[in-house]
């Protein structure tokens, strides 16, 4: 029987940037946790290593062609091995006390929903799931009595600032944005951006997809949609402010004109630690903030001409229905195309905009509808990219 002092924990996307940062924190308090499920897409070697170290109950690899490798690597251990997207859902349905949803992309939606349906605590990094199916996810979380803790540094900052007042007392939420590696570049300079330049974020060390999203500023657009679902203050009351140092992670202004901000070094382990220990606080070995070294904090308005992605996202959430799911799926495929060398950097947002304008499916009612929209959007974008290539 589990020691009542230990919490059961599952990490979806364990081999990624957020997943490994989460496991770094668990190493600091190893005896407090029992690991239920760890998952990856295709990195069987990385997953097997983590499953052995943390003595995971189950290790799931989404790419079924990697099952044999994972199974061989974990032979003789107590870890059960499974493969395929359905097994991710089964693992999430085991209902760990605390689940980290850190799969990248809409592929994370089914296991995240399954974890929410267990009515436990879900720490959400997987913003694409919320962008595509925000209303559905929030309704499921509420119905199951699940606790949804935002992990994205901005949303975690807002969550922390909201401990200082009530949501109905909020006048404005300000999401800060670093501006990405091309903050000061002209459109002309951005025509020749390479994947290596786009993934080299000035402040944060992250996975490839979110790094490209930060470079186009689609990341901030996705975060705007994420904030709209998590913090119901009205879309018109959520602003975006470019703050290149990434020290203030976001702010909440109350009706009395008091503004609360959360500050910290740009290290994802800080918001993850806040979600892991919540409602307590844990000690970490992260770098404390030294404002004398930083000395200056700068702020500027986003430039919507050079970075049209934020407006695309704002329009998508205003349009509602299928549009946010189309925006997300189109962006995922366009970013993958850019990373493969098939799409130019500036074409990413052009593709998203074009698909939104040319595809109008009926409003989704359920998860199946959302997946149909997601699949059809991916097909359209892939065909469009094939057309660009020839």
CA distance 64 to 61: 7
Q: Which of 9, 18, 275, 312 binds ligand NDP (CB under 6 A)?
A: 18
Q: Which residue has the tokens 């959302």?
A: 370
- Identify which of 283, 135, 155 has the alpha carbon closest to the alpha carbon of residue 231: 155
User: Binding string, 151-190, against ligand NDP, x = CB under 6 A?
Assistant: -x--------------------------------------
Kind and range of the H or E run holding 175: strand 170-177
Q: Assign residue 84 a region (left: φ > 0; alpha: ψ between -120 and 50; beta: otherwise).
A: left
| Sole window of 37-45, 183-191, 295-303, 334-342 interacting with ligand NDP (rule: CB under 6 A) | 37-45
CA angle 258/262/263 to nearest 5° reads 125
Question: CB count, 10 Å around CB of 62?
Answer: 21
Encoding tokens for residue 16?
Answer: 């990624």
Question: Least distance to ligand NDP from the beta carbon of 215, Å?
Answer: 13
Phi, psi of 140 (to 5 degrees): -65, -40
User: Binding string, 205-244, against ligand NDP, x = CB under 6 A?
Assistant: -xxxxx----------------------------------
CA distance 21 to 233: 31
Q: Which of 8, 9, 16, 220 binds ligand NDP (CB under 6 A)?
A: 16
Q: Which of 25, 35, 62, 252 binds ligand NDP (CB under 6 A)?
A: 62
CA distance 193 to 212: 11
The answer to the question of residue 321 lying near ligand NDP (CB under 6 A) is: no
Task: Give the CA dihedral 290, 296, 300, 302, nearest 10 degrees.
Answer: -40
Q: Which of 8, 9, 10, 19 binds ligand NDP (CB under 6 A)?
A: 19
CA distance 158 to 172: 11
Name 38's bridge partners. Answer: 11, 59
Residue nearest to ligand NDP (CB): 16
User: Binding string, 95-134, against ligand NDP, x = CB under 6 A?
Assistant: -------xxxx-x-----------------xxxx------
What residues from 334 to 373 belong to the interface with ligand NDP (CB under 6 A)? none
Q: Which of 22, 25, 33, 43 binds ligand NDP (CB under 6 A)?
A: 43
Which CB, 47 or 253, lies closer to ligand NDP?
47
Task: Report residue 294 CA to chain centroid gap.
Answer: 27
Half-sphere exposure of 56 (CA within 13 A, CB side): 27
Q: Which of 67, 185, 204, 359 binds ligand NDP (CB under 6 A)?
A: 204
Q: Which of 40, 158, 316, 336 binds ligand NDP (CB under 6 A)?
A: 40
Question: Least distance to ligand NDP from the beta carbon of 206, Å?
Answer: 3
Which CB, 207 or 321, lies closer to ligand NDP?
207
Question: 65: exposed, middle or buried (C-beta count within 10 Å: 0-12, 13-18, 19+)?
Answer: exposed
| Sole window of 10-18, 90-98, 333-341, 360-368 interacting with ligand NDP (rule: CB under 6 A) | 10-18
- Identify which of 6, 4, 10, 2 has the alpha carbon closest to the alpha carbon of residue 95: 10
The answer to the question of residue 324 lying near ligand NDP (CB under 6 A) is: no
Which CB, 107 or 253, lies closer to ligand NDP?
107
The answer to the question of residue 58 lying near ligand NDP (CB under 6 A) is: no
CA distance 104 to 127: 8
Question: Least distance to ligand NDP from the beta carbon of 255, Å?
Answer: 29
Task: Give the CA dihedral 347, 350, 351, 354, nearest 10 degrees.
Answer: -160
Question: Least distance to ligand NDP from the beta carbon of 390, Å?
Answer: 27
Question: Least distance to ligand NDP from the beta carbon of 360, Å?
Answer: 26
The residue ranges that bind ligand NDP (CB under 6 A) are 13-19, 40-43, 62, 102-105, 107, 125-128, 152, 204, 206-210, 268
């Amino acid at each position: 029987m589990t020691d009542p002092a230990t919490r059961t924990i599952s990490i979806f996307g364990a081999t990624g940037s957020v997943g490994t940062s989460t496991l770094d924190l668990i190493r600091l308090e190893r005896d407090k946790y029992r690991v239920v499920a760890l998952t990856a897409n295709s990195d069987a070697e990385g997953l097997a290593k983590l499953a052995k170290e943390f003595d995971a109950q189950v290790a799931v690899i989404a790419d079924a062609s990697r099952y044999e490798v994972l199974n061989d690597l974990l032979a003789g251990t107590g870890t059960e091995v499974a493969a395929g997207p359905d097994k991710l859902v089964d693992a999430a349905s085991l209902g760990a006390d605390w689940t980290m949803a850190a799969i990248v992309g809409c592929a994370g939606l089914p296991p995240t929903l399954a974890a929410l349906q267990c009515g436990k605590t879900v720490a959400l990094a997987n913003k694409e799931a919320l962008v595509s199916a925000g209303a559905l996810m929030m309704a499921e979380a509420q119905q199951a009595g699940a606790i949804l803790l935002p992990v994205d540094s901005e949303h975690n900052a807002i969550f922390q600032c909201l401990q200082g007042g009530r949501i109905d007392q909020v006048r404005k939420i300000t999401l800060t944005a670093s501006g990405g590696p091309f903050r000061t570049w002209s459109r002309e300079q951005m025509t020749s951006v390479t994947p290596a330049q786009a993934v080299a974020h000035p402040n944060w060390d992250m996975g490839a997809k979110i790094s490209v999203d930060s470079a186009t500023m689609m990341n901030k657009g996705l975060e705007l949609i994420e904030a709209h679902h998590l913090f119901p203050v009205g879309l018109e009351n959520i602003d975006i402010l470019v703050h290149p140092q990434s020290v203030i992670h976001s702010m909440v202004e109350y009706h009395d004109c008091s503004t609360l901000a959360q500050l910290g070094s740009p290290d994802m382990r800080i918001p993850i630690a806040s979600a892991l220990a919540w409602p307590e606080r844990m000690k970490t070995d992260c770098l404390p903030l030294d404002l004398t070294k930083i000395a200056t904090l700068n702020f500027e308005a986003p430039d919507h001409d050079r970075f049209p992605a934020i407006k695309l996202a704002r329009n998508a959430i205003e349009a509602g229905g299928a549009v946010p799911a189309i925006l997300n799926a189109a962006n995922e495929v366009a970013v993958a195309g850019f990373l493969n060398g098939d799409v130019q950097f500036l074409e990413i947002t052009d593709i998203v905009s074009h698909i939104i304008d040319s595809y109008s499916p009926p409003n989704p009612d359920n998860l199946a509808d959302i997946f149909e929209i997601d699949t059809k959007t991916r097909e359209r974008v892939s065909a469009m990219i094939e057309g660009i290539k020839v």
